Structure 1
Amino acid sequence: MYTISTKLKVILVLVGALCFSVTVALAQGPGFDEDVEDVPVPFDGGVTFITALAAGYGIKKIREHKEKTK
């Protein structure tokens, strides 16, 4: 019975958070005027480098896990 009540609490908190986030998203203003000039966001090598590091770290962890389970 203890695990059911804990799961229920987690589900209720998640549903409440989702309902609150929708309310906050709908409360935003109408946005920008049509005459606003869009400035491109620089997507430089830093983001690519961090993504490559994260992928390499993930591959390393997967290999370590496979070696432990053998």
Structure 2
Amino acid sequence: MYYNTKGVVLPRGLGFGGTTSKCRLFLDDELDNCTSALKCASYEPGAVAMKGSFHIETLEVLELLWLR
């Protein structure tokens, strides 16, 4: 998992799978330049989104839990 809200060197946003520089699913901080890849070492291969690049119009968060 990748999470960056303030850094300027790496992209700001939330990423899942893959590496810091190439997440399997990446949601940028504005939700208008999100990306997905077909495969990575973290998850089984397959499409996560219809296209490799997309924007999010509506996002619903069901639960948010922070563990320390």
Question: Greater CA radius of gyration, 1 or 2?
Answer: 1
TM-score, structure 1 as length reference = 0.17
Structure with more of its chain in strand, by fraction: 2
With the length of structure 2 as denominator, give the TM-score of the two structures. Answer: 0.17
Instruction: Report which of the two has the higher share of helix.
Output: 1
Q: Which structure has the higher relative contact order (CA within 8 Å, separation 6+)?
A: 2
